[in-house]
Amino acid sequence: MPTLDSNIEYLKGVGPQRAEVLKKELGIFTCRDLLFHFPFRYIDRTKFHKIRDIHTEGELVQIRGTLRRLETLGEGRARRLVGSLRDETGMMELVWFQAVQWLEKSLTVGKEYIVFGRVNEFNGRFNITHPEMESLTPDPSSTGEELGVRQLTFDPVYPSTDKLTQKGLDAKGLRKIIRTLLDGLSPTDLPETMPDYLTAQYKLTSRWSALNKIHFPENQQELDVATRRLKFEELFFLQLRLLQIRTRRKDAIRGFVFSKIGDFFNKFYHEKLPFELTGAQKRVLKEIRADLAVGKQMNRLVQGDVGSGKTVVALMTMLMALDNGFQAVLMAPTEILAQQHFANITELVGDLGIRVGFLSGTVKGKKREAILQQLASGELHIVVGTHALIEDWVQFNNLGISIIDEQHRFGVEQRAALWKKNPAGPPHVLVMTATPIPRTLAMTLYGDLDVSVIDELPPGRKPITTMHKSEHHRLRVQGFMRDEIAKGRQVYVVYPMIEETETMDLQNLMSGYEALSRDFPPPQYQISIVHGKMKAADKDFEMQRFVRGETQIMVATTVIEVGVNVPNASVMVIENAERFGLSQLHQLRGRVGRGAEQSFCILMTSFKLSADGRERIQTMCQTNDGFVIAETDLRLRGPGNIEGTQQSGMLRFLIADLARDGQILTAAREIALRILEDDPALAAPEHERLRQHLASEGKEARVWSRIS
Residue ending a domain, choose from 402, 423, 454: 454
Alpha helices in 144-219 (DSSP H): 162-166, 171-183, 196-201, 207-215
d(CA 215, CA 399): 54
> Who wins on pLDDT, 78 or 221?
221
pLDDT band with cut points at 50, 70 and 90 for residue 369: very high
84 falls within a domain: yes
Same domain, yes or no, for 472 and 563? Answer: yes
Answer yes or no: is pLDDT of 563 > 60.
Answer: no
669, exposed or middle or buried, with CB in 10 Å at 0-12, 13-18, 19+?
buried
d(CA 651, CA 159): 17
Answer yes or no: is pLDDT of 410 > 80.
Answer: no
- pLDDT value, residue 494: 93
Tell me the one-letter amino acid at 153.
T
* Mean pLDDT within 544-573: 85
- pLDDT value, residue 698: 60
Same domain, yes or no, for 316 and 394? Answer: yes
> Who wins on pLDDT, 43 or 571?
571
Same domain, yes or no, for 435 and 394? Answer: yes
* Mean pLDDT within 131-149: 57
426 falls within a domain: yes
Reduced to 3 states (helix: H, G, I; strand: E, B; else coil), residue 148 is coil
- pLDDT value, residue 269: 94
- The CATH number of residue 119's host domain is 2.40.50.140
- pLDDT value, residue 327: 96
Answer yes or no: is pLDDT of 512 > 50.
Answer: yes
Answer yes or no: is pLDDT of 143 > 70.
Answer: no
Same domain, yes or no, for 295 and 172? Answer: no
* Mean pLDDT within 174-198: 93
Cβ contact 642:651 at 8 Å: yes
Same domain, yes or no, for 365 and 514? Answer: no
Mean pLDDT of the chain: 86
- pLDDT value, residue 639: 60
d(CA 44, CA 62): 9
Same domain, yes or no, for 116 and 179? Answer: no
Answer yes or no: is pLDDT of 704 > 50.
Answer: no
- The CATH number of residue 602's host domain is 3.40.50.300
279, exposed or middle or buried, with CB in 10 Å at 0-12, 13-18, 19+?
exposed
Same domain, yes or no, for 486 and 617? Answer: yes
Answer yes or no: is pLDDT of 500 > 60.
Answer: no
Torsion 314-318-323-324 (CA) sign: positive
- pLDDT value, residue 8: 94
360 falls within a domain: yes
Phi, psi at 529, each rounded to 5°? -135, 135
Query: Dihedral angle at the C-alpha atoms of 489, 495, 498, 504, nearest 10 degrees?
Result: -150
* Mean pLDDT within 673-687: 93
Residue ending a domain, choose from 561, 595, 623: 623
Cβ contact 554:477 at 8 Å: no
341 falls within a domain: yes
157 falls within a domain: no
Same domain, yes or no, for 477 and 581? Answer: yes
The residue segments making up the domain with residue 82 are 51-151
Q: pLDDT for 21-33, tens place per residue? A: 999 999 999 999 9
d(CA 72, CA 61): 24
Q: CB neighbours of 707 closer than 8 A, spacing ≥ 6? A: 299, 412, 415, 416, 419, 429
Cβ contact 557:494 at 8 Å: yes
- pLDDT value, residue 566: 86
Cβ contact 455:280 at 8 Å: yes
Inter-residue long-range contacts of 508-516, CB under 8 Å, 24+ positions, other chains counted: 508/575, 508/576, 509/555, 509/557, 512/555, 512/575, 513/555, 516/553, 516/555
706 falls within a domain: no
Q: pLDDT for 91-119, tens place per residue? A: 999 999 888 888 888 899 999 999 988 99
Q: What is the DSSP letter of 646?
A: -
Same domain, yes or no, for 276 and 387? Answer: yes
Q: Which of 60-74, 477-491, 535-549 has the lowest mean pLDDT?
A: 535-549
Structural domains of the chain, count:
4
Q: Which of 97-106, 377-386, 406-415, 560-569 has the lowest mean pLDDT?
A: 406-415
- pLDDT value, residue 702: 40
Residue ending a domain, choose from 397, 422, 454: 454
Same domain, yes or no, for 19 and 95? Answer: no
Same domain, yes or no, for 406 and 273? Answer: yes
> Who wins on pLDDT, 210 or 510?
210
344 falls within a domain: yes
* Mean pLDDT within 203-222: 94
Bridge partners of 85, per DSSP, are 67, 92
Query: Dihedral angle at the C-alpha atoms of 648, 649, 652, 654, nearest 10 degrees?
Result: 150
Same domain, yes or no, for 268 and 386? Answer: yes
582 falls within a domain: yes
pTM equals 0.67
The whole-angstrom distance between residue 382's C-alpha and the CA centroid of its chain comes to 33
Cβ atoms < 10 Å from Cβ of 618: 13
Q: What 3 state SS string does 576-624 have?
A: CHHHCCHHHHHHHHCCCCCCCCCCEEEEEECCCCCHHHHHHHHHHHHCC
231, containing H or E segment: helix 220-252
Reduced to 3 states (helix: H, G, I; strand: E, B; else coil), residue 649 is coil
